Amino acid sequence: MKIVKVLGIIVVAFIACQSFFSSTKEEVSISNQINKNLSLDVDTFSMFIQDSILPLLAAPQKNEQKLQSTFLQARLNYKKMEWATEYFMYSTARLVNGIPVPEAEVASQMILQPAGLQVIETYLFPQIDTTKIEALKTEYVSLLEKSKIFKRFFDNIDIADWQILDACKLELFRIETLGITGFDNALTLRSASESADALKGVKIALDIVVENSNYKTKLDSLVNYAVAYLNQNTNFNSLDRAYFIRKMANPITIAISDYVNIAKLPDIRYNRLLNQDAKTLFDSNAFNRYAFSPDLTIENESAKIELGRKLFNETAFSLNNTRSCASCHQAERQFADGLPKHLNIDNNGFIDRNAPSLINAALQPFQFYDFRSVTLEDQISNVVANPKEMHGSIVWALNKLKSNIDYVQLFQRAFAENPNATIDTTKVITAIATYERSLTNLNSRFDQYMRGNNLSLNSAEIKGFNIFMGKAQCATCHYLPLFSGVVPPKFINMDAEVIGVPSISDRKKVDPDLGLYNYLLDNLYPVSQLEDFKYAFKTTSIRNVSKSAPYMHNGVFQTIDEVLDFYNKGGGVGLGFNLPNQTLSAVPLNLTPSEILDLKAFIFSLDSLPMN
């Protein structure tokens, strides 16, 4: 699926931290070897384009098969250095193998146009688009320019051992979540062979950086096993992704992590959602729920959670003292409300959109369906002030809180680090946000299966996972392991997608809510570049959906069966809507009834087990 992507502000910090740290003198030898290999990889990539592809464009109609086959080889050449380009040169890498639709960048208020290999794929497959020959030349020439940037970078930077190992582990996570799903080869679906070549690049790097002979031998064996498996199982629909992740990818990332622990490397850390210590994507503590918080650490957390829970249920923040956060986010409904749209505060209409679950809301770089808040703190303020939702003010409620002895004591315990400070708006918001962050739960039967519990999923659910990751194309939008639009493996961006959700009042028409388009328009993005963002909405998580119906931003679908039928038909375009900017493939999935049952069984296995 092609997706409208929104880039968060944290991107800048993430990239800066990865590129800033240079190696020590002891690491220069390893760095030189890595740089030399990467420089050769860049040369192979660029020279192949220059010598083997560009000459074919002089007579494209005569060379259609060669243009397709050489493109596929160029992708394999790039995959061997992907572990490094994506880690160290993210901004350039997105112009080489980024998604083939525009992206909105929040930090710069820019619309980034698509470029690179995925764009070229749309020109060449399933057959050459003869109207795009000049555009094809332009894209390939641009790749040569980006190769020069890669070359200059790798020729002039020292790379530390810890960075190499971190980059290799993230590449495994990239393969697990994107590589084997068809995310970046949607038309050719050569996921297995491309992932195998990406692993070959990782293997070369690990052979250089790992100095312990036991770990070198172990990692060499594990990677060879994974490469062989992928090369022997190239059929996209039948690839057993559950087996690959559990038996090959997980052992590799665990071994890398274990080596890092014994190698006594510099312990350099920076803020990111996926913890650097995570051995697999499915570790119980893999994700940092404070990554998108204004405060990266929190004192007296349990006391703040207790206070936040009480404030979450407090009605004093609403205009008529009748509504709290819990009115629309009910614990027994996975912190949703079971309604298409909740009544507005005046009970004479409805709020604009369906109330989403708050489970794992902390693990998102954006809040709301249209991305208009970047933190939970801002989301709380937005809801309280919204004239349809609470139409209230935290300031109004402060006197009530200050005069209540229970609240006074709770605030004193929660903010014991500053005992003389008064109750104020910031403390109220901090407490509620801390409570919402405590609602993080990545412990389902599926997670337990991925952690090694063979009995936690049945055969239908395992089949459903493989369908989800493959034929059904679900995982190209609902990314493993959060199953939301937060893009792995860096988890700094989030996707919005145009799928053509029907209107509740007339299911033969697309819902009129323009979603992300209006947010971008209100924030002074260039209107001439916004057409692709009409009807785009955040890709929400499908964890706990068995208890959080109805579905979509307008609550149009009452059951999961309706949702799966909608996707199986090709979304809004599949229903006959005129929606040229739909990012969901309009080609029917042709899932069989038994495949749909297995897929549904897997989705329900994502229900969270009770939190402690």
Question: Is pLDDT of 21 > 80?
Answer: no
Q: Are 102 and 529 in contact (CB under 8 A)?
A: yes
Q: Residues 333-381: pLDDT tens digits? A: 999 999 999 999 999 999 999 999 999 999 999 999 999 999 999 999 9
Report pLDDT digits (tens) over 395-411: 999 999 999 999 999 99
pLDDT tops 50 at residue 290: yes
The strand pairing partners of 104, in sequence order, are: 6, 111
pLDDT per residue as tens digits for the range 58-80: 998 899 999 999 999 999 999 99
Give 475's Cβ-side CA count (13 Å radius).
28
pLDDT of residue 270: 87
Neighbours of 131 (CB within 10 A): 8
Q: Of all residues in the chain, what percent carry a pLDDT higher than 90?
A: 90
Q: Among residues 543, 548, 494, 483, which one has the least CA distance to residue 519?
A: 494
CATH class belonging to 301-437: mainly alpha
Residues 6+ apart with CB under 8 A from 17: 270
* pTM (predicted TM-score): 0.95
Helices marked H in 128-190 = 133-156, 161-177
Q: Where in the chain is the domain with CATH 1.20.1420.20?
A: 4-263
**pLDDT tens string 501-512:** 999 999 999 999
**pLDDT value at residue 7:** 60
Tell whether omega for the bond before 294 is within 30 degrees of 0, i.e. cis.
Answer: no
Length of the chain counted residue by residue: 612
Residue 142 has pLDDT above 90, yes or no: yes
Give the pLDDT confidence score for residue 608 in this predicted structure: 96
Band of residue 603 on the pLDDT scale cut at 50, 70, 90: very high
Average pLDDT value for the chain = 94
Interatomic CA distance for residues 475 and 462, integer angstroms: 14
Can you say how many angstroms the Cα of residue 243 is from the centroid of all Cα atoms in its chain?
Answer: 22
Bridge partners of 551?
A: 557
CATH superfamily name and code, 4-263: M75 peptidase, HXXE motif (1.20.1420.20)
Position 612 confidence tier, pLDDT thresholds 50, 70, 90: low
Q: What's the pLDDT tens digit per position in 175-198? A: 999 999 999 999 999 999 999 999
Q: Is 16 a residue whose pLDDT tops 70? A: no
Average pLDDT over residues 41-50: 99
User: Under 8 Å CB-to-CB from 256, ≥6 apart: which residues?
Assistant: 165, 168, 169, 172, 206, 219
Beta-sheet strand order (sheet of 537-538): 110-112, 103-105, 4-7, 493-497, 537-538
Query: What Cα–Cα distance (Å) separates residue 258 from each residue in 280, 324, 446?
Result: 11, 47, 24
Is the per-residue pLDDT at 485 higher than 50?
A: yes
**Element of type H or E holding 6:** strand 4-7
Contacts 24+ apart (CB under 8 A), 343-346: 344/388, 344/389, 345/318, 345/319, 345/320, 345/387, 345/388, 345/389, 345/390, 345/391, 346/391
Q: Do the strands 103-105 and 4-7 form a parallel or antiparallel pair, or are they unpaired? A: parallel
**Residue carrying structure tokens 């819902």:** 511
**Looking at the predicted structure, is the pLDDT value of residue 12 above 50?**
no
> Tokens at residue 358, please?
């708050």
Cα–Cα–Cα angle for 595, 599, 602, nearest 5°?
140
Higher-pLDDT residue of 20, 317: 317
Q: Which two tokens stand for residue 33?
A: 């070897």
- Evaluate if residue 25 carries a pLDDT over 80: no
CATH of 465-604, one of 1.10.760.10, 3.40.50.10860, 3.90.226.10, 3.40.1280.10: 1.10.760.10
pLDDT at position 17 is 53
Dmax over CA atoms of the chain, in Å, equals: 83
Task: Determine contact, residues 274/282, Cβ cutoff 8 Å.
Answer: no
At residue 144, the pLDDT reads 99
Q: Could you give the C-alpha distances from 507 to 349, 554, 556, 577, in angstroms and in order? A: 20, 12, 9, 10
Residues of the chain with CATH 1.10.760.10: 301-437, 465-604
- The pLDDT of 98-116, averaged and rounded, is 90
Q: How confident is the model at residue 5 (pLDDT cuts 50, 70, 90)?
A: low
pLDDT, residue 463, reads 99
Q: pLDDT grade, residue 34 (50/70/90)?
A: very high
- Residue-wise pLDDT for 429-477, tens only, equals 999 999 999 999 999 999 999 999 999 999 999 999 999 999 999 999 9
Contacts of 299 (CB under 8 A, 6+ apart): 416, 417
Contacts 24+ apart (CB under 8 A), 278-282: 279/253, 279/254, 280/249, 280/250, 280/253, 280/254, 280/450, 280/451, 281/173, 281/176, 281/177, 281/253, 281/450, 281/480, 281/481, 281/488, 282/250, 282/442, 282/447, 282/450, 282/451, 282/481
> Does the pLDDT value for residue 40 go beyond 50?
yes
**Does the pLDDT of residue 26 top 50, yes or no?**
no
Q: Which helix (H) or strand (E) holds 261?
A: helix 250-263
Q: 582 with 496: CB under 8 angstroms?
A: no
- Using DSSP, state whether 365 is helix, strand or coil: coil
Burial class (CB in 10 A: 0-12, 13-18, 19+), 267: exposed
The whole-angstrom separation of Cα 241 and Cα 462 is 9
